[in-house]
């Protein structure tokens, strides 16, 4: 096992080998905590130029509070590159940093420490230079301002970047507003959370729901198939990170009501659907919402596409 983190090349805080297979857990300041197979470590060189993207995805899984249940293999590592979690454009990277500052600001006026050398994974940047530029941009755009350092001094962010290892900054009111906006809409997300009955008889409905979502330029996400230990965290994080939610109430699962309510509480749009023959079973609290009623899965797909185009895009 190499003594380096394979993604950021930093020396990890700790490497714990598994006892029963060729696999280790790596604890890295930049990339968070992840498990990786020995065969991926030895074949990783082919993916080297994408390292900063893996580093960013893993770091954000940690920031989102997800436990690292998944073991990275030569197969799953390629799926990460298709992930909607990776920002495609510079404004999305900037939003990531705003989101991080907001998540780490417990009170108004609280200062947040950013250590460019450890934290450029937050903006999916290939090196700390881009993070420097983003910090300067946020200061110029009056979203952040310098906070006092440990000695009680206030220095401009540019000065802090030149002389210090760590930047101390805090949100302005503009910064807070932008953070709340991002929290509501899910950091430029292209993900759609699907809340529905997981019984196998509904797999064909899920198939059509995900086709409708993907035809409209989003990616469907559901938590079926994950281990039960991780599922609650995955639901909360999955909804927070989604642009909107599709909730199908066929089968009347309490979890679907919870997930739709949680999403509405975060200010996200919810598209309500239900098989027509069950419409009278809908709970009276939510019956007032306009539900897409469907007779078969093809009808579900086409009505859902129309609704996403009308209400989301
Ligand atoms: Zn790392």
Mean pLDDT of the chain: 87
- Whether residue 296 has pLDDT greater than 70: yes
CA distances from 231 to 8, 128, 145, 147, 187 (A): 29, 34, 38, 38, 22
Distance (Å) from CA 4 to ligand 1 centroid: 8
Which H helix or E strand runs over 291?
strand 291-294
**CATH class of the structural domain 90-184:** mainly alpha
**Four-residue CA torsion sign, 52, 54, 55, 57:** positive
- Please state the length of the chain: 313
pLDDT attached to residue 132: 95
6, 36 contact by CB (below 8 A): yes
229, 254 contact by CB (below 8 A): no
Q: Which residues contact 68 (CB under 8 A, 6 or more apart)?
A: 25, 32, 33, 34, 35, 58, 61, 62
Name the more confident of 98 and 187: 98
Q: How far apart are CA 249 and CA 120, in angstroms?
A: 42
Distance (Å) from CA 28 to ligand 1 centroid: 5
The residue assigned the tokens 């350092």 is 149
Lowest mean pLDDT among 86-90, 117-121, 135-139, 174-178: 86-90
How would DSSP label each residue in 169-208? EEE-HHHHHHHHHHHHHTTT--EEEEE---SGGGHHHHHH
Token pair belonging to 220: 């469907």
Distance (Å) from CA 58 to ligand 1 centroid: 9
Distance (Å) from CA 13 to ligand 1 centroid: 10
Token pair belonging to 47: 């993916």
Distance (Å) from CA 8 to ligand 1 centroid: 4
Q: How far apart are CA 286 and CA 234, in angstroms?
A: 24
Distance (Å) from CA 57 to ligand 1 centroid: 11
In the chain, where the domains are located? 14-81, 90-184, 189-311
Distance (Å) from CA 5 to ligand 1 centroid: 5
Distance (Å) from CA 33 to ligand 1 centroid: 9
Distance (Å) from CA 113 to ligand 1 centroid: 19
pLDDT attached to residue 181: 85
- Residue 157's nearest CA partner among 116, 108, 104 is 116
Distance (Å) from CA 6 to ligand 1 centroid: 7
Q: What is the pLDDT of residues 219-244, one digit of tens each?
A: 899 887 666 666 677 888 889 888 89
Q: How far apart are CA 263 and CA 37, in angstroms?
A: 36
CATH topology assigned to domain 189-311: Rossmann fold (3.40.50)
Distance (Å) from CA 198 to ligand 1 centroid: 35
- Full-model pTM: 0.65
Distance (Å) from CA 124 to ligand 1 centroid: 12
273, 294 contact by CB (below 8 A): yes
**Four-residue CA torsion sign, 201, 204, 205, 209:** positive
Q: How far apart are CA 168 and CA 113, in angstroms?
A: 5
pLDDT attached to residue 148: 84
Residues in the 5 Å CB sphere of ion ligand 1: 5, 7-8, 28, 30-31
- Rounded mean pLDDT of 3-22? 85
Distance (Å) from CA 127 to ligand 1 centroid: 12
Distance (Å) from CA 166 to ligand 1 centroid: 18
Name the more confident of 282 and 76: 282
Distance (Å) from CA 11 to ligand 1 centroid: 8
The residue assigned the tokens 């989301």 is 312
Alpha carbon 119 to its chain's center: 17
Q: How far apart are CA 99 and CA 183, in angstroms?
A: 8
């Amino acid at each position: 096992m190499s003594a380096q983190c394979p993604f950021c090349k930093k020396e990890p805080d700790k490497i714990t080998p598994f006892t029963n297979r060729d696999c280790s857990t790596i604890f890295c300041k930049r990339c968070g905590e992840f498990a990786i197979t020995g065969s991926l470590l030895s074949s990783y060189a082919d993916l080297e130029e994408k390292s900063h993207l893996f580093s960013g995805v893993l770091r954000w899984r940690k920031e989102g509070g997800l436990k690292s249940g998944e073991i990275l293999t030569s197969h799953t590592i390629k799926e990460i590159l298709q992930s909607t979690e990776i920002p495609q454009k510079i404004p999305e990277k900037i939003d990531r940093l705003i989101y991080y500052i907001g998540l780490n600001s417990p009170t108004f006026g609280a200062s947040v420490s950013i250590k460019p050398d450890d934290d450029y994974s937050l903006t999916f940047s290939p090196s700390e230079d881009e993070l420097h530029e983003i910090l300067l941009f946020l200061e110029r755009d009056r979203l952040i301002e310098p906070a006092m350092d440990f000695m009680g001094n206030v220095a401009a962010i540019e000065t802090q970047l030149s002389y210090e290892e760590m930047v101390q900054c805090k949100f302005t009111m503009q910064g807070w507003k932008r953070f709340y906006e991002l929290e509501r809409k899910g950091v430029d997300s292209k993900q759609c959370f699907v809340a529905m009955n997981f019984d196998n008889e509904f797999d064909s409905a899920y198939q059509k729901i995900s086709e409708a979502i993907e035809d409209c330029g989003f990616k469907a996400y559901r938590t079926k198939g994950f281990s039960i230990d991780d599922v609650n965290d995955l639901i909360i994080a999955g909804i927070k990170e989604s642009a909107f939610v599709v909730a199908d109430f066929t089968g009347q699962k309490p979890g679907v009501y919870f997930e739709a309510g949680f999403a509405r509480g975060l200010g996200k749009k919810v598209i309500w659907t239900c098989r027509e023959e069950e419409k009278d079973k809908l709970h009276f609290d939510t019956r007032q919402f306009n539900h897409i009623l469907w007779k078969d899965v093809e009808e579900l797909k086409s009505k859902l596409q129309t609704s996403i185009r009308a209400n989301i895009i």
